[in-house]
Structure 1
Amino acid sequence: MKKINIYISLLAILFLAGCDYNEEHFSGYDSNLVTDVVAYSGEYTGEYPDEGYFTDRTSLTTAVDKMLKGIYLYNDKNSTAKVSILYGETTPGFSLPKEDYSLKAEDYDSMGKGAGQPGEHDYFDASMDINGYLIDFVAKKYASLKEGDIVTLYYLFNEADGKKETLTTSFKKEAYGWDKTELNSFIASYYYTLIADDYKEMGNGTNEPGEKNYFTSAMNIDGYLGSFLRMQYPYAIAEKTAVVVYNYLEKGAVITKTSVYEFDGTNWNSYDPYAPIMTVTTKIADMKYDGSNWSLNLLIGGSVEVTIKKDELLYLVEWVKNNKYAYWVDDLNEFYYGSAAKWGEVNNNYTNWKANDPNNEYASLSDDQLQALMDKRISEGFASHVLPALYSDPNPELSYDVSYNVYRGNRAGWNIVSFMYDKDKKVFYEIAAPAKRR
């Protein structure tokens, strides 16, 4: 019994002595944490704002930083992450001119009623100088507008087959006069002006449109006009639009008002073509870690996954054979980029590289220095030779995430490096350095 107690006591003493030894000879030993450079790829799993998507980069960065810190408690500077996330962007609606105007019969008449003139039939056709007529018209009607103002005119055009359609042209007032300009103008699928019979069909009882052939603020105008449009255009398809001109009682006077509607496939709904449009898409938040926080590097439209195998590595072997022959080993291997095409791998074996060192540039390098050179070379090889061979028309809005399997080296296994395409320079460029894929 005493022997057992003695053995236990000795073990306890050795254990305590061991703890003291570590602390004494390796200061901070017990508190040192193993860290690593990581390359994360996945979906956002944190909380979204009430809208269900992010609309600004600041709040997105804060949220993704929180999520990644929850996943990686300890990681090194230069870690990267690509996080799929919902992001809303506002784009302008249709442009609104200073003035817009639909030509009436008397306007066509004012341009001439003789043979071949607009007033002859109250429309334009291909034989007429339409821009000339319209510029003269707008210069007289809108002489008081200032330089830079835009006027949009709607007019009837007679096609060769006799079909008439409403067209639009915009004009901008310049210092020298009026000139045609491009404007993202709204053009409805249908234009309709209510007549007396239309009001009657909506009801001619007390406080109904047909009572006095106008609408008032007490009436459900959108309801009446939505029902009217369903009957007027029974074969309309979704996303068709309609402009309705009607009479409206305002402050004791009957005025003309216009409302715009869009068909959703079932109903005609009130529609504002000039309102900003919110478009929500899945973006890729490209994040980088600075040692303390994750920050947003790029917000990318999406990503393309590229996996490097034998065929892709053969592009590098062939290039080295033709341009860096001293580094070429055979039709499957080279030691400028490190291609080992037979196995579909990138060879990062330091011993192999130093044994195939025609210019004596590897021999004096430490393992870390050699690894840095390997990373730089392989990234350049993918950007200059592999990706251009794979993608003849690359999308500059996307990230090209290249995964490759590494043999030996300090990051043996699957690695990833990411690129984007500069359409002006026509080159791929690195946006995330090679790192271990997690």
Structure 2
Amino acid sequence: LLIMGEAVIEAIIPFVTAKLVDHISTGVEMSYLLKTGLLLVLMTLISLAFGGSAGFTSAKAAAGFAKNVRHDIFARVQTFAFSNIDKFSTSSLVTRLTTDINNVQMAFMMMIRIAVRAPLMLVFSIIMAFLMGGKLAFTFVVIIPILLCGLLLIARFAMPAFRRVFKKYDKLNESIEENVRGMRVVKGFSREEYEKNKFRIAAEDICKDFTKAERIVAMNGPLMQVCMYFNMAFILIVGSHLIITGTSSINVGEMSSMLTYGFQVLIQLMMLSMIYVMLTMSAESIRRISEVLDEETDIHNPEQAVTAVADGSIDFSGVNFKYSKTAKKNALSNIDLHIPSGATIGVIGGTGSGKSTFVQLIPRLYDVTEGTVKVGGIDVRQYDLNTLRDSVAMVLQKNVLFSGTI
């Protein structure tokens, strides 16, 4: 309602201005000028109030929307199994929670504020232009289709470039994450220059694709300016000819208003083109966010879950496991083992031999590909997940300190 009120008032202002210009050219009393001037000032202030209120509410709505989406994604990630995390990677999830949501938030705010206002202003301005300018308004019938075709072409070529940019953001974040976590290793083996060069190449790659996408999008500006100046020139030349020859009822005030309405029409088209560009950029972010929200966790609680662990015995029966369904080789093969309750065992093997994988199957961080893993004589897939994991205490090889908890 606020945006509609702002649009209606801004569409009426040029009409009132045209009447004022006509009366000035024909001579009019000062009282009429003062009343009309005060009316214009009042309408401007009301439009400003409506616009400011609409901007505040749209910003608040967009911030709330982003907060809810961020909360939903984080809550969704908490339900993921390790296999789901492996599918997306940590760096990709961080990008989706930050960069992608920020893109969507900006697009959402512009959609509320501009995508509602611009079409209303466009319609009202065209209607008023036809009412006041008659045949002169047909210039919009030529200009608008040209602009729409140009915008469609720009979006068609820009979308693939933006898609590549967001994928490379994931790799850049992954490189940062690895370097921060492995800082001691990097310094211990004097790999600083190698890592700096690796990061520089990734950053330049993003810059190259982003520059290409922005160059395509930047064509929007010149296209709008050419159409705007052509429209203004057409109205001035044809309108002046009609006034001089007297072949039309149009007068100076109406031609002035036609220029204003023409400017408003093209400005609203420019606003719509900005929305279109923002949507083009955010479309890939929306798709990436939807991927996380639509992802089904690979590990579910059974319908009639067991809620108590009888003892600490562990049994591996014919266990085969691979991290990906498409993997050709198993990470673990033909594991058969019985560990009595209270027993202590050691699992020895080289790096990458599957020691951590073996342990992660016990609290069901991953599901086995073949065979069964039992705790307390019951298949781990029959337990309530919270019950099972509360009963299995894991001390990870690398300690993790949650910052801000001490």
Larger proportion of helix: 2
- What TM bracket, shorter-length normalisation? under 0.3
Structure 1 length normalisation: TM-score?
A: 0.22
Structure 2 length normalisation: TM-score?
A: 0.23
Q: Which has the higher contact order (CA 8 A, sep 6+)?
A: 2
Larger proportion of strand: 1
Larger radius of gyration: 1
